[in-house]
Amino acid sequence: MAKTPAQRIKKHGANAVVPQHHLPPVVNPSTARTPEKAQGNSNLIVIAGVVASLFLFWYLHLLTLTQMTQLSQEMAMPDSLVGGFDAGYISRLQEVMDSDALGQLSYVHKTAGTLFPLIFGFTWLLLIGTNVARKALRWALWALPMLFVVVRLGGNVAIDAMMASSGPDAGQVGLASGLTVAGWVLLVLSLLAGAAAVFLNRRERKGR
């Protein structure tokens, strides 16, 4: 019967031969996360976010809000008016939209109208963050999609409140129109910021 290391030491003292046991390494080096893998994972998330943002934009603006013109005698919804609107337009729109149509517009704002800016904003923050190394520039570019999310969600609330009022209040119309125009401007600026981030990253790689 083989003796244990303790028994060998007890019998032979310092001359005891104790077999060495080598434990296998705990960490598998093949699973180490390299910067290239981390960048690849971020790129996959960004691509998925871009696809989701494009789909939601199409669903919200090109499908749902366009179909809602059937409930407003072909008058466009306030969200679709890139140049804004005035009290006269809102007054005519309120006359042709009943309570069911207004409820449907509010529902659109709470679903696709909320998901689109949130997913777009998150995607663009990640896109800029993974392509811009300089902290000051990164925060400057981040400001655009973050403002877009705030303005767009605020615009949804302002439009619902304006449409639900008994008559077009000048203050409500001005706020909703201003937020709508600002939302479209910030969307375009955010797209340009994302494109600039990718361009700067590629230029830095070529310069290395």
Q: Dump pLDDT digits (tens) for 16-64.
A: 555 555 545 555 555 555 656 656 788 899 999 999 999 999 999 999 9
Given a cut of 70, whether residue 100 has pLDDT beyond it is yes
Cα torsion 34, 40, 46, 49 to 10°: value is: -110
Q: Where are the domains of the chain?
A: 44-207
Measure the CA–CA gap between 179 and 155, rounded to whole angstroms.
Answer: 5
Tokens of 4: 């244990």
Residue that is written with structure tokens 């669903």 in the block:
59
Burial status of residue 193 (CB atoms within 10 A of its CB: 0-12, 13-18, 19 or more): buried
Whole-structure pTM value: 0.81
pLDDT of residue 27: 52
pLDDT of residue 11: 64
Amino acid at 170: A
**Which region, left, alpha or beta, applies to residue 21 given φ > 0 means left and ψ of -120 to 50 means alpha?**
beta
